[in-house]
Structure 1
Amino acid sequence: MSVINLYCDESCHLENDGQPAMVLGVLSCPDDRRKVVGRRIKALKAKHGISPSVEVKWGSVSPKKLQLYLDLVDLFFDSTELSFRAIVVPDKKQLNHAGFNQTHDEFYYKMWYQTLVPLLSRTRQFQIYLDKKDTRSEGRARKLCEVLCNSQLDFTGEIISRVQHVHSHEVPLFQLADLLIGAVSYVNRGLSTSDAKLEVIKRIRERSALTLKQTTLLREEKLNLLVWRPFGGSAI
């Protein structure tokens, strides 16, 4: 049975962070190809004079390093083993948590469920990796594992064999996930303050033929987006 690694990250997911749009994203890669892709990412860093230990991420996109980030976008689209799925909640202010008797944290896990479940299959095994950000990270990993395993009746780890936190700066594929999530978040927050970031977004749009603001077909394999909107102001 083949093993698929899912690298999960998020942008502006906190309830009161002052940002309207929330994005959850997953970069998928077969486990037996992760080292190959990791070496490609490191090779691009070397090509542009960047140390392999330096973390490349959306927040670091700048005119000086623009070509590196354009090359990373091309690497994603040229690598048939890679795919990306994200859910966008355009305006967190429209969420009605009280009306649905839930907390924002509970909504957060529901959104991760919606993000990940379409990627799961009983013909493959999945290892889920989350970016370790704070002291709450381990608790979130256990909760997400519980939610997903219960949804799939997977009580023996046959489908989801691992849910683990890692440090993104140590994992090149996480850095690529951060770049894609950052671009989707930037577009859906309506930002335009960085010409370099707009160039990266332009390249993603050219390669994908997507606006990054609209839901794709459910079976869109390379870059799959769900722009989630509440019905009648409901939370979910």
Structure 2
Amino acid sequence: MSEIYNVYCDESCHLENDGIKVMTLGAMWCPLSKRVEIAQRIREIKVKHGLKSDFEIKWTKVSKGQLEFYLDVVDYFFDDDDCHFRGLVVPDKSVLNHEQFGQSHDDWYYKMYFVMLKTIFEPKSNYRVYIDIKDTLGHEKIDKLHDVICNSQYDFSHHIIERMQRIMSHEAEQLQLADLLIGALGYLHRGLTSNEAKLALIERIKERSGYRLTHNTLLKENKFNLLMWNGKGGF
């Protein structure tokens, strides 16, 4: 029987005219059979640090007072062999020329999701993809993304990629973990330095991943996979 994986996707700074050059997309994935165990372990880490079990992990909440908690969460991710992450960084949205490529910004954003997700899927496994509901991908675009990615995998019957749907971040600890990791990537690539706790967390991710977080990893890197997308003008 095929292994089923849950894939949890999040994004940061995707809007065209938000005044921020860097955009990040990320996906944390794990076996469906380990979903509850992983969520429970993360809740236990929350309680250990005096937080409520339903406390929502968010990059924007990282502070000096909660640094040890966030360090423990990052260490848990790297220590658990069932947790995996794929991140895509667009260093400069200002180089985009959507008119030249006959696309809207939303179309391009959708294509970036495709680039980010397609390397995760293996033909002998099955996948259920959950995307943060705050993203600009509405139901129609979710359906289209599902179709395009399935077709790219020759999965015309949607057997490999079983479902793709939107959820709220408070519903899944794994989605919260994706938010934390892409937040770190975005902070680093934007050159921000004002929050010492965030800088410490980035250093821990560098240490545990073995990467500087500024270059591509090997395509088949299975734990902490990164792509720096430097396309000029479009897709």
Which residue of 2 is the match for residue 25 of structure 1?
26
Which residue of 1 is the match for residue 208 of structure 2?
207
Does the 8 Å contact 1:6/1:28 carry over to 2?
yes
Which residue of 2 is the match for residue 61 of structure 1?
62
CA-based RMSD of the aligned residues comes to 1.3
Residues 141-198 of structure 1 show CA distances to partners (whole Å, capped at 9, x for unaligned) of: 2222122122223232211101011111121111111100100111111111100100
Which residue of 2 is the match for residue 235 of structure 1?
234
- Give the superposition deviation at 1:80: 0.3
Which residue of 1 is the match for residue 81 of structure 2?
80
Which residue of 2 is the match for residue 168 of structure 1?
169
2-structure distance, mates of 1:216, 1:162: 28
Which residue of 2 is the match for residue 113 of structure 1?
114
- Give the superposition deviation at 1:101: 1.0
Does the 8 Å contact 2:11/2:135 carry over to 1?
no
TM-score by length of 2: 0.96
Comparing 176-185 with 125-134, greater Cα deviation is found at 125-134
Does the 8 Å contact 1:87/1:225 carry over to 2?
yes
Which residue of 2 is the match for residue 197 of structure 1?
198
Which residue of 2 is the match for residue 133 of structure 1?
134
CA 136–90 in structure 1, closer or farther in 2 if over 3 Å, else same: closer
Which residue of 2 is the match for residue 8 of structure 1?
9
Residues 22-53 of structure 1 show CA distances to partners (whole Å, capped at 9, x for unaligned) of: 11101010000011110110000000011012
2-structure distance, mates of 1:136, 1:22: 15
1-structure distance, mates of 2:230, 2:135: 29
Does the 8 Å contact 1:29/1:81 carry over to 2?
yes
Which residue of 2 is the match for residue 43 of structure 1?
44
The alignment-based identity, stated in percent, is 47
Comparing 128-137 with 95-104, greater Cα deviation is found at 128-137
- Give the superposition deviation at 1:109: 1.3
1-structure distance, mates of 2:108, 2:135: 19
2-structure distance, mates of 1:59, 1:127: 27
Residues 87-134 of structure 1 show CA distances to partners (whole Å, capped at 9, x for unaligned) of: 111000011111111111111111111111111121000000001117
Does the 8 Å contact 1:53/1:170 carry over to 2?
no
Structure 1 residue identity aligned to 2:92: D
Does the 8 Å contact 2:110/2:137 carry over to 1?
no
Q: Does 1:124 align with 2:125?
A: yes
Aligned to 1:100, the other structure's residue is in SS state coil
Which residue of 2 is the match for residue 221 of structure 1?
222
Structure 2 residue identity aligned to 1:149: C
- Give the superposition deviation at 1:140: 3.1
1-structure distance, mates of 2:120, 2:142: 18
Which residue of 1 is the match for residue 151 of structure 2?
150
Does the 8 Å contact 1:128/1:164 carry over to 2?
yes
Residues 35-82 of structure 1 show CA distances to partners (whole Å, capped at 9, x for unaligned) of: 111011000000001101220110110111110000000000000011
CA 90–42 in structure 1, closer or farther in 2 if over 3 Å, else same: same
Structure 2 residue identity aligned to 1:235: G
TM-score by length of 1: 0.95
Q: Which runs of 5+ in 2 are unaligned?
A: none
2-structure distance, mates of 1:191, 1:134: 23
Does the 8 Å contact 1:126/1:159 carry over to 2?
yes
